[in-house]
Chain A
């Protein structure tokens, strides 16, 4: 299996532009998570899906952020309009249910976003 695939790996954009980050989870995993990592706040959960349905988006910072999962093999995280404070590494992760809550999250390589 190729693992969780994220694109782009690096994105540099100007303030006000739309940014779309993409994720392909591991086949058979029915949970998909979007995390954001910054020096100040560490790893924060933004949103997660179960069977393509958004379950908890309470971590999404504001309305500029949106996420979709149109099918089991694809998800997007969109920021519109982007701001410099959105600069971070965005991770996608997927998992399947395991016994005793031992759901190991497998992470993608991350998308490093820089907003100028």
Chain B
């Protein structure tokens, strides 16, 4: 079974609108971390936001927030007020306690296109 599932291969949004990118995960660990990375067309991987499994509040970083629903094992990324520069691939990833918090497992990604 896949540990990270991103069901949306592509998403379209108009500039200034909000968009939610879905991510579900599978783990038997009680302690884990969830991450979102952005990969623009230039290819680099850029860290956006982190959520710990014991964090009671949803993480926020500027226009990015993580909608963490532990019981549903979902960690959706919400981008508010989309900008043209947000067009990129977005990857959800997880790190688990049983790997010693070392390895990061990635989903297949969602391509986001922001139109004017």
Q: Could you list which residues of chain A lie within 8 angstroms of chain B, going by C-beta atoms? A: 31, 33, 42-43, 45, 48, 50, 55-56, 89, 91, 93, 97, 100-110, 112
The residue from A42, A93, A102, A110 contacting B33, defined by CB atoms under 8 A apart? A102
Give min CB distance, B48 to chain A, whole Å: 10
- Bound: A92/B54 CA distance, A: 29
Contact partners of B45 in chain A: CB under 8 A: 91, 93, 105, 107, 110
Partner of B50 from A33, A56, A104, A109 at Cβ < 8 Å:
A104
A91 partner residues in chain B, CB cutoff 8 A: 45
Q: Are B97 and A110 in touch, CB under 8 angstroms?
A: no
Q: List 18 A-B contacts (CB under 8 A).
A: A45-B103, A45-B104, A48-B102, A56-B103, A89-B43, A100-B33, A100-B52, A101-B31, A101-B32, A101-B101, A102-B33, A104-B35, A104-B50, A106-B47, A107-B37, A107-B46, A110-B43, A110-B44
What 1/0 flags go to B10-23 for Cβ under 8 Å of A? Answer: 00000000000000
Residue-wise, chain B 72-112 has the 8 Å CB interface mask toward A (1 for contact) of 00000000000000000001000111000111111111000
B47: A residues at CB distance < 8 A: 104-106
If A106-B47, A110-B43 touch, whether A101 touches B33 (CB-CB below 8 Å) is yes
CB within 8 Å for A103 and B102 given contacts A42-B108, A42-B109: yes
- The listed residue with most B CB atoms (<10 A of its CB), out of A33, A56, A100, A112, is A100
Docked complex Cα distance between A22 and B48 (Å):
26
Other 6 A-B pairs with CB < 8 A, given A56-B102, A89-B43, A110-B45: A42-B106, A91-B45, A100-B33, A101-B96, A103-B101, A110-B43
